[in-house]
Structure 1
Amino acid sequence: MAPLIKVCGMTEAENIRKVEQQGVDMIGFIFYPKSPRCLCEIPGYLPAYAKRVGVFVNESKESIFMYADRFGLDYIQLHGNESPEYCRSLHNAGLHLIKAFSVSLPKDLLAVPAYNGVCDYYLFDTKTPQYGGSGNQFDWSLLHHYNGPTPFLLSGGINPYSAKAIKEFRHPYFAGIDINSRFETAPGIKDVERISNFLEELNSK
Structure 2
Amino acid sequence: MLFNKLFKKKTKPFMPQIIKVCGMREAQNISSVVYSGANMIGLNFIPNSPRYVTQLSTHAGIIPDVGSLDYRKKTNLAQLLAEKQVRLCGIFKDDMPQTIVTRVVNFHLDIVQLHGSESPIMMDNLRSSLDPDIHPGIQLMKTITIVSKADFAQCKPYEGHADYFLFNTKADNTERFDWHLLKAYKGKTPFLLSGEISERDVEAIQAIQHPLCIGIDLDSQFETAPALKDTAKIKHFIAQLRKAEV
Q: Same fold (TM over 0.5)?
A: yes
Residue 115 of structure 1 aligns with which residue?
158
Q: Deviations over 1:38-94 (max 9, x none)?
A: 010361645433100000000010000000000000000000011111112123332
Residue 230 of structure 2 aligns with which residue?
191
Listed as ranges, the matches of 1:86-125 within 5 Å are: 86-93=122-129, 94=131, 95-125=138-168
Distance (whole Å) between structure 1 residues aligned to residue 15 and residue 153 of structure 2: 28
> Secondary structure at 2:91's aligned position in 1?
strand
> Secondary structure at 2:112's aligned position in 1?
strand
Distance (whole Å) between structure 2 residues aligned to residue 100 and residue 140 of structure 1: 17
Q: Deviations over 1:157-201 (max 9, x none)?
A: 100111110000110111110000000000000000000000000
Measured after TM superposition, the shift of residue 102 of structure 1 is: 0.6
TM-score (norm 2): 0.78
Distance (whole Å) between structure 2 residues aligned to residue 197 and residue 23 of structure 1: 10
Preserved contact between residue 159 and residue 183 of structure 1 (Cα < 8 Å) = yes
The answer to which structure has the higher strand fraction is 1
TM-score (norm 1): 0.93
Measured after TM superposition, the shift of residue 18 of structure 1 is: 0.7
Which residue identity lines up with residue 212 of structure 2 in the other structure?
Answer: Y
Measured after TM superposition, the shift of residue 109 of structure 1 is: 1.3
Preserved contact between residue 26 and residue 53 of structure 1 (Cα < 8 Å) = yes
Which residue identity lines up with residue 224 of structure 2 in the other structure?
Answer: T
Q: Deviations over 1:124-146 (max 9, x none)?
A: 00113x4xxx2321212222111
Q: Deviations over 1:1-49 (max 9, x none)?
A: 7311000000111101111112311000000011010010361645433
Measured after TM superposition, the shift of residue 106 of structure 1 is: 1.6
Which residue identity lines up with residue 232 of structure 2 in the other structure?
Answer: E
Task: Say how many residue pairs are matched.
Answer: 201
Preserved contact between residue 135 and residue 182 of structure 1 (Cα < 8 Å) = no
Preserved contact between residue 24 and residue 42 of structure 2 (Cα < 8 Å) = yes
Per mean C-alpha deviation after superposition, the further-off stretch among 163-172 and 66-75 is 163-172
Match of 1:172 among 211, 217, 220: 211
Listed as ranges, the matches of 1:1-205 within 5 Å are: 2-3=15-16, 4-41=18-55, 43=63, 45=77, 47-48=81-82, 49-93=85-129, 94=131, 95-128=138-171, 130=172, 134-205=173-244
Per mean C-alpha deviation after superposition, the further-off stretch among 45-54 and 20-29 is 45-54
Distance (whole Å) between structure 1 residues aligned to residue 154 and residue 145 of structure 2: 11
Distance (whole Å) between structure 1 residues aligned to residue 161 and residue 37 of structure 2: 28
Preserved contact between residue 15 and residue 206 of structure 2 (Cα < 8 Å) = no
Unaligned runs of 5+ in 2: 1-13, 56-61, 64-74, 132-137
Per mean C-alpha deviation after superposition, the further-off stretch among 112-121 and 51-60 is 112-121
Which residue identity lines up with residue 145 of structure 2 in the other structure?
Answer: S
Which residue identity lines up with residue 208 of structure 2 in the other structure?
Answer: F
Unaligned runs of 5+ in 1: none
The answer to which structure has the higher helix fraction is 2
CA RMSD of aligned residues (A): 1.4
